[in-house]
Structure 1
Amino acid sequence: MSRPCNLHVLSELSPSARADLLKRTESDLTPFIEKVVPIIEAVRLEGDRALARYARELDKAAVPVDAIQASEAEFDAAFKAVEPEVIRAIEYAVGNIRRFHEEQKPEPMWLKEIRPGAFAGDRWHPIPSVALYVPRGKGAFPSVTMMTSVPAVVAGVPEVSILTPPTPEGTADAATLVAARIAGVSTVYKTGGAQAVAAAAYGTETVRKAVKILGPGSPWVVAAKRLLAGVIDPGTPAGPSESIVFADETADGRMAALDLLIEAEHGPDSSAYLVTHVAAVAEAAMAALPGWWARMPELRVGFSQTVLRGPHGGIVLTGSLEESYAFVNDYAPEHLEVLSTDPFRHLGRFTNAAEVLMGPHTPITFGNFVLGPNCVLPTSGWARTFGPLAVTDFMKRSSVGYVTEPAYAELAHHAGVLARYEGFSAHANAVSEIRDGLLAEMKERGR
């Protein structure tokens, strides 16, 4: 009888085979970049006409050039179309997300005395504009709308817009519109894919040009962001979903299998692993998968089976806890779930993970929807250097310095030494006896 998913026994893998497990579907964007170039150029030259054409050709949706932006009537209709229970859940989630990001928001300015009479600090401002990408290809994602919109509003960004692929009917997804309005965003454009990134970068007759674009997307979106990085800030590198469920000897293998499917069901380009050093946990998880699939619709079963039986998913059986820790850190997952009755025992060993959800009562589902921390996370190993989307991603920081008269001489001496050593004469002159004379004249005039 064949296994329901891959079983990778780490000790039996060659170094190259182990390295293959760390790859993601977007590791090589070359074929996407080649196809994205003409799309970007068309949007740059044709504006709304290109967006309408690509909606027709790629999204199979009729979106006239004068209807690219969602109207107030569409927003109102969305609230009638979405079930009241779903609206209440969105309101609940927005409340938690807002509270988290308000706590995360830095003070407008701080200033500390670095030396007696010499002060330095930071000053924070919102960026002037941002475009938020909300995917729709494999389902509706009001969660992404909430996770991107709320911190933008909390940060105080003056111009916030959402880009999302149109439905076959030529409208925006109803739940996305509901989430946008509840979060405080009223501008939604019905365009997706590489053409949406290009529209945000260059602007069109309808779409306002933005200085930054944030939000997860397909390899097409990631490729467009990479190509347009010199035109628009591409923000956190967020691509197809990925996760690791780490399980120790206290974990229930059936629960591990249940949670392994969370990110695997996003789409065939997702990546998902259960990592454990306990053979019994691996066996129990393997045995439980068919039963959990029986409770899922065919579409999501197909997605998750493609992932768990393909090159980017399955169960990784390690030889020890140390090997499990090492694999997780090498992988640097977007989502890391720690299944253990004592998850804090392991927390300090994980250094590369964008999100760590701990214990049997904290499934990835909570992080994706309602807990509060942002679910827009770096993928493809970028968790080594990037963190989750945060309110500070919608802000810019300026350094502030202020030196008083009594503190000036000491700083001037040391700065002058370094300036002369590095050969910068203007730097040195600015803190030399020349300035001393000018300061003395100012002081004399002020008497």
Structure 2
Amino acid sequence: MRVNRYELNELSAADRRVLMQRVRADYAAIEGTVREIIDDVRERGDAALIAHTARLDGVTLAPEQLRVTEAEFEAAESRVDPEVRAALEKAIANIRHHHQAQLPQATWMQEVRPGVLVGERWSPITSVGLYVPRGKGSFPSVMTMLCAPAVIAEVPEIAVCTPPGPDGTVDDASLVAAALCGVRTIYKMGGAQAIAAFSYGTETVRPVEKIIGPGNQYVSAAKRVVYGDVDPGLPAGPSESVVLCDGAADPAVAARELLVEAEHGPDSAALLVTHSRSLADAVEKLLPSLLEALPQQRREFCETVLSNFGGIVLTADEAESLRFVNEYAPEHLRVLMTDPFDKLAKLTNAGEIMLGENTSIPFGNFAIGVNAILPTGGTARSQSCVGTLDFLKRSSFAYVSDEGVAEVGPTAVTLATYEGFPAHAAAAAYVVERAAARREAKGS
């Protein structure tokens, strides 16, 4: 098999741009199809949702089958493997612990001038739709990562959508995971039609204020189309990772971590970044046997990734490795370096940072409690991992006493006048005059 090997200092500007770009969806090519689906669901509601589910997922549902019933929850509970349930319980406990700590102070207030109080209060978003994909498998871990923080944020209306399986059901472990988190509104729908239903509502599906969760290029394109009518949440595309190593890293650990995100699909990106040529050689030597041990489909995914938008990046030194990682802004960053906490302050752009030889990326995906719904495609330069704050919003507030008017009123009048807003200036001046009169009356 071929593994890409990049000498960073020898790359042309064009080649470096390609390396940074990784896989990008061609939204222009599919936007027309996506808009047709969205418009159809918006106009015909359940009938269109059912028709597109039959056409795209191969499952025909009646309107009353769109929402998971209590009987289906109970059946899933009876069928799920006890070991899987126990793992879900432990993972959810860790996720709750981590996300509970993210809750901000509900209200704060301070006096910025005598008699001038300002502050903010946090409140939950009224309703959210959580998108849990199923195209390449079933993902109860995604269910936990989305449901747990939404419940902690006390969102009044939480609904989940996930594509039905060939038999028209939702994965048992995913249903159990939702129930353990405290969410029981789940719709059997996916793709652009699900985004449309959450955005505009149907006879069965209530519209929501915000949609959060990863999906394929059609889901991402649909989120772009409905932006403005609903908050489409974090952009989440194909999986990606960087394994950052120095010469002291264990090649066996590094090689295995390199394959973690690569096995998601052929459009993933997985890079080993190091200034140690001997480490790079050792990792490359280990990869064939590790790949051979994988099932055929996953092996083919990894081989495609490592010869396409993945591989090994050799840098001149540690400083250049750190600069490259910050420029790349990976979804998952695995740090296999001496004194990893010393590197933490220097790593500014990453969805998550897994420090040290024991902190495997799969630990973050499933068990530690950090959220695994992360920004991709370089958006970690400005976006954050999903967390409790994604389900909350801030409102600022202020109060000005009669005494405080003298502190801020004239400033407002002056700046409103300068910017050419006479109604602003007049309203502010009237309050200034009335407050001054009251102060004068009190003083007499």
**Same fold judged by TM-score > 0.5?**
yes
Equivalent position amino acid for 2:318 in 1: L
CA distance in 2, matches of 1:272, 1:432: 61
Deviations 1:22-56 (A, max 9, x none): 12323532222232122112211222222222222
Deviations 1:221-251 (A, max 9, x none): 1001001112211111111211111111221
Q: CA offset at residue 200 of structure 1?
A: 0.6
| Matched-pair identity in % | 50
1:404 and 2:401 are equivalent in the alignment: yes
After TM superposition, the structure 1 = structure 2 runs for residues 220-231 of structure 1, keeping only pairs within 5 Å, are: 220-231=218-229
Q: Which of the residues 349, 352, 356 maps onto 1:355?
A: 352
Contact 1:276 1:316 in 2 (8 A): yes
Deviates more, 1:431-440 or 1:319-328: 431-440
1:326 and 2:346 are equivalent in the alignment: no
CA distance in 2, matches of 1:245, 1:282: 11
After TM superposition, the structure 1 = structure 2 runs for residues 175-254 of structure 1, keeping only pairs within 5 Å, are: 175-254=173-252
CA distance in 1, matches of 2:206, 2:325: 41
Q: Which residue is equivalent to 1:69?
A: 67
Deviations 1:188-228 (A, max 9, x none): 10111111111111111111111110001111110010011
Q: CA offset at residue 125 of structure 1?
A: 0.8
Q: Which of the residues 107, 118, 137 maps onto 1:109?
A: 107
CA distance in 2, matches of 1:63, 1:280: 57
1:436 and 2:428 are equivalent in the alignment: no
CA distance in 1, matches of 2:222, 2:430: 54
Equivalent position amino acid for 1:380 in 2: G
RMSD, aligned α-carbons: 1.9
Q: CA offset at residue 296 of structure 1?
A: 2.4
> How many residue pairs end up in the alignment?
443
Equivalent position amino acid for 1:313 in 2: G
Go from structure 1 to structure 2 and tell me whether the alpha carbon gap of 1:432 and 1:71 turns closer, same or farther (over 3 Å shift).
same
Equivalent position amino acid for 1:162 in 2: V
1:392 and 2:389 are equivalent in the alignment: yes
Equivalent position amino acid for 1:168 in 2: P
Secondary structure of the structure 1 residue equivalent to 2:256: helix
CA distance in 1, matches of 2:418, 2:134: 58
Contact 1:26 1:219 in 2 (8 A): no
CA distance in 2, matches of 1:224, 1:354: 23
Q: Which residue is equivalent to 1:341?
A: 338
CA distance in 1, matches of 2:129, 2:374: 17
1:256 and 2:254 are equivalent in the alignment: yes
Q: Which of the residues 407, 411, 416 maps onto 1:414?
A: 411
Deviations 1:350-402 (A, max 9, x none): 22111111111111111111212211111111111111112111111100112
Q: Which residue is equivalent to 2:39?
A: 41
Q: CA offset at residue 62 of structure 1?
A: 3.0
Deviations 1:309-368 (A, max 9, x none): 22x111111222222122211211111111113112222222211111111111111111
Q: CA offset at residue 161 of structure 1?
A: 0.5
Q: Which residue is equivalent to 1:154?
A: 152
CA distance in 1, matches of 2:254, 2:32: 39
Deviations 1:87-127 (A, max 9, x none): 11111111111111111011211001222332211111111
CA distance in 2, matches of 1:69, 1:443: 66
Secondary structure of the structure 2 residue equivalent to 1:163: strand
Contact 2:332 2:353 in 1 (8 A): yes
Q: CA offset at residue 64 of structure 1?
A: 2.4
* Normalised TM-score (structure 1): 0.95
* Normalised TM-score (structure 2): 0.95
Equivalent position amino acid for 1:200 in 2: F
Equivalent position amino acid for 2:418 in 1: Y
Go from structure 1 to structure 2 and tell me whether the alpha carbon gap of 1:175 and 1:433 turns closer, same or farther (over 3 Å shift).
closer
CA distance in 2, matches of 1:382, 1:71: 38
CA distance in 1, matches of 2:223, 2:332: 22
Secondary structure of the structure 2 residue equivalent to 1:393: helix
